[in-house]
Amino acid sequence: GAMSAALAVAVPPSLESSRPLNPPPPPQLPGRREHRQNKHHGYTLSMATVVQDEARWIVEWIEYHMLEAIGFEHFYIYDDGSRDELSQSLAPYVRDRRVTLHRVAELEPLP
């Protein structure tokens, strides 16, 4: 049959008489993070990923990760031989300097 579990939490006596916890109001719906460069280290939060034939989803993926609640500001994307329209999908982000696009086939071999 189905199993269920219960969790019991013991409250220390010193907290029992405390005023009730009022959680803060939920944050506003997140928007895109400001595109800003840290003058000393580049971007505050960046991501690197390898993709292949992801043009269909890459814009939604980037937009999601740029939401303020997530916080990515820049993406280093390594294209591993895509045969779809990846470059065209990423063109606005490359132009805005939010994406640095590399082609794996054009990279120098590792030492």
**How many residues are there in the chain?**
111
**Which residue from 73, 71, 80 is spatially nearest to 97, judged by alpha carbons?**
73
pTM exceeding the 0.95 threshold for the entire prediction: no
7-37 pLDDT, tens digit each: 444 545 554 454 445 555 544 444 555 555 5
44-75 pLDDT, tens digit each: 899 999 999 999 999 999 999 999 999 999 99
Separation of CA 18 from chain center: 38
The pLDDT score that the predictor gives to residue 79 is: 97
